[in-house]
Amino acid sequence: MLLDVKNLSLSYGPKRVLKDISFSLDRGEILCIVGESGSGKSSILLSIIGLIPKHGSISGSIKLEGKELVGLSEIEYAKLRGKQIGMVFQEPSLYLDPLFKVKEQIMEAYTTHFGKSGAENKVVEVLKKVGVQDVERVLNSYPHQLSGGLKQRVCIAIATVCDPSLILADEPTTALDLTVQRKILGLFAKLKEEGKGIILVTHDFGVVAEVADKVLVLKEGEVVESGSVWEIFDSPKHEYTKNLLSATYLKA
């Protein structure tokens, strides 16, 4: 098992944001987390990657390849962030630094963990892998010179350049046009084929239908439903899931 989350809870003062969340993920699997805005989706990812703000209090267990992450020091977390866990965010423009060329940003993600040797080649290789055609131009561009889709490819390159086994993606296609969305989803499918474990947060059941193996439905910080994508679509057990599903179909 790649990731094993047991009884994960998170609160900010009296406010309980995550309540006893448990799930697991294997290599070569995509788990989609769905739920309304504010249900705690991002909080699960931030708990895993150790980016919960100091005033948050976390309990339970998060094991990555058997290693407990809850309670790790910031120094220990920094060693595995990027290297064992990669993360992709919703809005690539906010994540990329406007002042640095793409090349420097991917390079930094790599050299932080592996040093400078081989970095140049690695950066070219990873950009090709995420489907960038004109690699030289993109490497020498500033983020604002790229389309939204290309920026998100660059973010995926940054998240995967160190070859992490676990990839967390928080609504990675929400800010993109439909056609671009599908291509980016295709990239996640490819990463899965390579044996990565992926957690993809989305509020879009269309995305779930396209890439998920397993689904976790969250409501107000609790898991109200979990199972294979077939189970969730064929026989949603909870009213809440049925409503989310029908909301998606109404939109389509």
Nearer residue to ligand ADP within complex by CB, 141 or 174: 174
In terms of DSSP H, where are the helices of the chain?
A: 41-49, 74-80, 92-95, 102-114, 119-129, 135-139, 148-160, 178-193, 205-211, 229-234, 239-251
The H or E element spanning position 42 is helix 41-49
Q: Does 111 bind Mg ion (CB under 5 A)?
A: no
Of 41-49, 103-111, 182-190, 235-243, the segment contacting Mg ion by CB under 5 A is 41-49
At 151, the amino acid letter reads: K
Q: What's the token pair of residue 203?
A: 């509020």
The contact mask relative to Mg ion for 42-81 (x = CB under 5 A, - = no) is x---------------------------------------
Instruction: Name which of Mg ion, ligand ADP, none residue 199 binds, using a CB cut-off of 5 to 8 Å depending on partner kind.
Output: none
The contact mask relative to ligand ADP for 15-54 (x = CB under 6 A, - = no) is --x-----------------x-xxxxxxx---------x-
Is 21 within 8 Å of 42 (Cβ atoms)?
A: no
Cα–chain center distance at 140: 26
CB of 33 to Mg ion, least distance (A): 10
CB of 135 to ligand ADP, least distance (A): 33
Nearer residue to Mg ion within complex by CB, 132 or 169: 169
How crowded is residue 68: how many other Cβ atoms within 10 Å of its Cβ?
11
Q: Residue 28 — φ and ψ, nearest 5°?
A: 75, 20
Cα 187 from Cα 153, distance rounded (Å): 9
Cα 147 from Cα 158, distance rounded (Å): 17
Of 40-48, 107-115, 133-141, 150-158, the segment contacting Mg ion by CB under 5 A is 40-48
Instruction: Name which of Mg ion, ligand ADP, none residue 158 binds, using a CB cut-off of 5 to 8 Å depending on partner kind.
Output: none
Binding site for ligand ADP (CB under 6 A): 12, 17, 35, 37-43, 53
